[in-house]
A and B are shown apart, each in its own frame.
Chain A
Amino acid sequence: MNRVGKGISLVVGVLASAVLMPVAVAQEGPGLEKADSYRFVVVPKVVHPWFDKVNQGAQQAAAAIEAQTGSDVEIQYSAPQSANVAEQNEIIERAIATRPDGLIVDLLDPSGNRTVLNEAQEQGIPVTLFDSINPEGMSLTTIGSDFCEQAEMAANRLIELLDGQGKVAIMMGVPTAPNHAERARCAQAVFDSHDGIEVVATGVDNDDINTAQQQASAIMQANPDLDGWVASDAAGPVGIGQAIKEADKVGKVQMVGLDDLNQMLVLIKDGVADSSSASRPTMQGYWAVMAMWQQATGAITPSHIDTGNVMITPDNVDEFME
């Protein structure tokens, strides 16, 4: 080959490299890594029907990824038996020991969970949070809805039902759970901004239906002129609804519930509750797995995915019934 030919070859080679190089880089770029199987561990706050819906969503996402990619996706659901930070940390640590491809966690308390989340990251295990906020100084992807907006929707709906006048009560869930506390705080703020509304009592149900029923019964005994209820956790409105029925106050005491447990939906259908301001646990589980899978493929996921809130009323309740 003469000098000209060599020069042409060199130019063609350089041009070819320039054209092919982006392809080679793209194959190693974000979202292009592929594995035959993935295993993600979901750690909720506690064993609870609301988190079963999260698990359902997670399983749906796993099935969708399997159908679209052919990779096996296993979801391991590992829930603490009680809403206790130390117990949840132990569950997370045990999950880390199994070397999963990702951890999906609903934090009981961001400050108390922070140490084990750092441990997960030190072990090279990606973490995605759902239904909770980032611990201070961490920037993990979070999936969920705006807790304050959800509580405000419920409080405003109750004010509308009462025509802006009346005595109301708030049922708190677990006082140490940030999302429950935030909902209670935001509902209180909405009520405080309306002169005609007076908050006469606040109950604490620790996210337990029986406790909610006992608390609601006692509060309605002590406040016979109570006009309405809102709640800060999913178990609360179910217990309140039972207490309203027992006290024969259906239609006399209004309730705007929270979330979409089946018992809550039945209360709406039966006319015990007017409506429910619901987050979307199934969607949270679904998108948490999707985010985790995307991270496993090397993609960078958004800092927050908002799954939104929806008001469930007698008009649309059937869409949510299982």
Chain B
Amino acid sequence: MLRKAMGFMVSNPLSGVVGVLAVIVVVASLLSENFLNSYNLVIIARSLAFIGIITIAQSMLMILGELDLSLGAIGGFCGVIGGILMVKLGLNPWLAFALCLAIGALFGLVNGLLVTLLRLPSLVLTIGMAGVYGGLNLVITKGVAITGIPADIGFLGSGKWLGLPVPFWIMLLFLVVGCFLTLKTPFGRYMYAVGSNLPAAKMLGIRTDRVRVGVFAFAGFLAALAGMLMVARLGSAQPSIGDSWVLAPIAAAVIGGVPTTGGIGTPLGAIFGAAIIGVIENIIVLLGVSPYWQSMVSGAIVVIAISLDSISRRYFKRD
């Protein structure tokens, strides 16, 4: 029975991360009576929604063997552009929302074109582009938030549907889209081929640059979506939106089985990784851990979670 369960764990790449998440949830619910209350579950879902959308984007890039460290900056900048369109220019909020998603896709496209045409490492290029988008954000706003966002779009950030936050449902929708794209379409198979072995993928006739640029553009679109949902949530376009969306999505994707080297993993696994980080951050605050210890405790638990998953896989494979 145990061997059967372990065999399932080894054969199913998601089982490890789901198991770790389950253990953390059980421990968290034992440690804090507030963990499983409905309000807390809603805030975990909402928190997961924003970081989850960026995680989906980053995990798809990581399947290609790429990274985009400017996704947070794109999200923040698109949020500010949305604020200007809605508040200063009086544009219809829904039209402004759609325009910002297109602008986000355009920024992602620019990143992809620069990576592919100039043959630059995406890690280095997107660090620079994060500075460009973040800098433009500060130039336009002078660091001051744009307030007076129309209430029409507030529902997208603060509303609930079937008891769960609307951003969470939107994240789930794009998780399905991301998983379908990567796992069920020829485009997805090309992504894995590019991530596994770029020269071999080229020799097979795959238009590798098109695949890479396409995923960068989709990632930019998702970053803009997260930024605009956050604007709707806060009721203001804060220049600081996206500042914390840089490292956590990469860590989430790695925990969820998407290595930075590319070629394997799924957006679904990455979301489970994001959920692990989200639950840990939640329980740390519920337990009243000192803010000076929080980063260390959170980081250590993430390292332990990855290690346990990796060790158990190696052990049972060998056995």
**Chain A residues in contact with chain B, CB under 8 A?**
47, 76-87, 89-91, 93-99, 109, 111-112, 114-115, 123, 174-176, 181, 204
Contacts and interface: CB of A to CB of B under 8 A. Distances in A.
Given A85-B240, A111-B234, A111-B235, A94 B43 contact: yes
A207 to B, nearest CB: 12
A204 B288 CA distance: 33
A181 B158 CA distance: 28
Contacts of A176: 143-145, 238-240
Interface stretch (B18-26, B34-42, B53-61, B255-263): B34-42
A114 B243 contact: no
B230 interface: yes
A91 B235 contact: no
A109 B143 contact: no
Given A76-B288, A81-B294, A94-B286, 14 more contacts: A77-B290, A81-B295, A85-B234, A85-B240, A86-B244, A89-B234, A93-B43, A94-B40, A97-B34, A98-B32, A98-B34, A112-B236, A175-B239, A176-B143
B147 interface: yes
Contact of A111 (B40, B147, B294): B147
Nearest to A113: B234
A175 B43 contact: no
B235 A78 contact: no
Q: Which of B39, B144, B235, B295 has the most CB of A within 10 A?
A: B39
30 contacts: A76-B288, A77-B291, A78-B288, A82-B243, A82-B244, A85-B145, A85-B234, A85-B238, A85-B241, A86-B240, A86-B241, A90-B281, A91-B285, A94-B282, A94-B286, A95-B285, A99-B34, A111-B147, A111-B235, A112-B236, A174-B143, A175-B138, A175-B142, A175-B143, A175-B144, A176-B145, A176-B238, A176-B239, A181-B143, A204-B143
Contacts of B34: 97-99
Contacts of A84: 240, 243-244
A112 B240 CA distance: 11
Interface residues of B, number: 37
Contacts of A79: 291
B288 A112 contact: no
Closest CB pairs A-B (n = 4): A175-B143, A97-B40, A79-B291, A94-B285
B286 A115 contact: no
A86 B144 contact: no
B50 interface: yes
B35 to A, nearest CB: 8
B83 to A, nearest CB: 11
Contact of A97 (B39, B158, B239): B39
Contacts of B292: 47
Contacts of B281: 90
Q: Which of B47, B233, B240 has the most CB of A within 10 A?
A: B240
A97 B37 contact: yes
Contact of A96 (B39, B50, B235): B39
Contacts of A93: 43, 46-47
Contacts of A82: 243-244
Contacts of A112: 145, 234-236, 238
A204 B234 CA distance: 25
Interface in B262-311: 281-282, 285-286, 288, 290-292, 294-295
Nearest to A51: B291
A99 B138 CA distance: 37
Contacts of B243: 82, 84
Contacts of B238: 85-86, 109, 112, 176
